Amino acid sequence: MNFSLTQCSAIITGASSGLGAEFARQLAPTAKSLLLVARREEALNEVKAELLAKHKNLQVHLCVADVATDEGRARIIECVDVFDLKPNMLINNAGIGDYGSFASADPAKLRGQIDLNVTALVLLTHAVLPRLVAPAGILNVSSLAGNVPMPDLAVYGASKAFVTSFSEALRVELMEKNIVVSALCPGPTPTNFGKNSRRADGSDTNRSGQELLRITPDEVVHAGLDALVSNRACVFPGLGVSIAAPIFRIMPRFLMRWLLVRRYRKQQPSAT
């Protein structure tokens, strides 16, 4: 494997803010071209202007698309062909969450998480694969939440467990084709994710107390890119997360369940 970021041509989903925009910033100094994908055109344009102000020779293309839809994914493939890109990197980063109980969740948000975090990631990867020029890299942004059942974030956690498992299997299938697949599993990271995951009616769960796991978006992205280049299957960025992940993995299931119930009860508003 000799995948390198030098002169890479990358497709980044969810590039209008947070980790996606940071992937673009960190790739910009060495990349040949970037295809930035998201729904908000204005925000994408701001990221593009920021990149071009510093990197005059970089090709930055925008694709305004909802990755969660068939039309959106077809639009991305159309952009790859129209701009005559020869991508060697796909960063499946776009994702959403929903803080709060499953019973009180908006069904549209439940479906939205599966459509974007799972279906979009799988089908976009499948559509891009024939166009990826090896040596190539696919980075799937998963989460520490994929390593442990998450009461009050149940669908999100399960969707990220899917992403991590899918990435590990795909990695083996694509190894012979000289395509590296890595999963990036961050803990809580200060982006728009938390704000967007909150419930409009205030019924979301208090998720404070995660300071020990938190690191900055630029540290998370750096760890993700490093995982691809050094051909690592899975990376848990930051000291707190890198300690928590193996503990979750080896912890006896009965102990995990006891802790989950204890934590869940503590989080519930006390009856007055």
Binding-site ranges for ligand NAP (CB under 6 A): 13-20, 38-40, 43, 66-68, 93-96, 116, 141, 143, 186, 188-189, 191-193, 196
Place of tokens 């009461």: 151
Only one residue has tokens 């908000």, namely: 40
* H helix and E strand count, the chain: 10, 7
Query: How many angstroms separate the CA atoms of 76 and 72, rounded?
Result: 6
139/180 with CB nearer ligand NAP: 139
Report CA-CA distances (Å) from 116 to 42, 80, 112, 171, 237: 21, 20, 6, 21, 23
Residue type, 153: L
Q: Which is nearest to 134 in space by CA: 93, 89, 171, 182?
A: 89
Phi/psi for 214 (5° steps) reads -80, 130
Which tokens sit at 77? Answer: 């493939």
56 vs 195, beta carbon nearer ligand NAP: 195
The catalytic site residues sit at 156
How far apart are alpha carbons 242 and 95 in whole angstroms? 22
Distance in angstroms (rounded) separating the CA atoms of residues 147 and 134:
30
**Which residues does 93 contact at the CB level (< 8 Å), separation at least 6?**
12, 13, 14, 15, 19, 20, 23, 139, 141
